[in-house]
Amino acid sequence: MDDGSQSVDLYILNAAARRDVVITQDLSLAVLLTSKGVYVMTPRGKLIKESDADHIMNQKFIRQQTMKQKRKWKGPSAFTDKHREEFRKTFQYLLSEYEGI
């Protein structure tokens, strides 16, 4: 793998297959993976669906425009036990509903 900033994303995108599970906070990568039939979750327990693509890309565009204007963009809130529990629930749901485990 090269040292490019997107090399890991490209590796994941090429290696992931239908029905694999990927956990990422990179929502652009998530959009690409869901179109391949990959189940994608965020570390905070949100299950990303292919139908979320337009909203995710619109939010990314707004964020980029805000940063171009040198405005501050507020980052995510602190990671909490609530997020951990949401992740656990969503992961358990994903495994039981989609994979029958």
Q: How far is CA 9 from CA 25, 36, 54, 77, 87, in A?
A: 12, 14, 20, 24, 22
The pTM score is: 0.71
Residue 90 in any domain: the answer is yes
User: pLDDT tens-digit profile of 47-71?
Assistant: 888 777 666 666 766 666 666 677 6
What total number of domains does the chain contain? 1
User: pLDDT tens-digit profile of 11-48?
Assistant: 999 999 999 999 998 888 998 899 999 999 999 998 88
SS3 6: coil
Residue 1 has pLDDT above 60, yes or no: no
Residue 1 in any domain: the answer is no
Domain membership of residue 70 as a residue range? 7-99
According to DSSP, residue 23 is labeled E
Q: HSE of 50 in the Cβ direction (CA atoms, 13 Å)?
A: 6
- What pLDDT is attached to residue 50? 73
- What pLDDT is attached to residue 3? 58
Residue 47 in any domain: the answer is yes
- What pLDDT is attached to residue 5? 65
- What pLDDT is attached to residue 49? 84
Residue 61 in any domain: the answer is yes
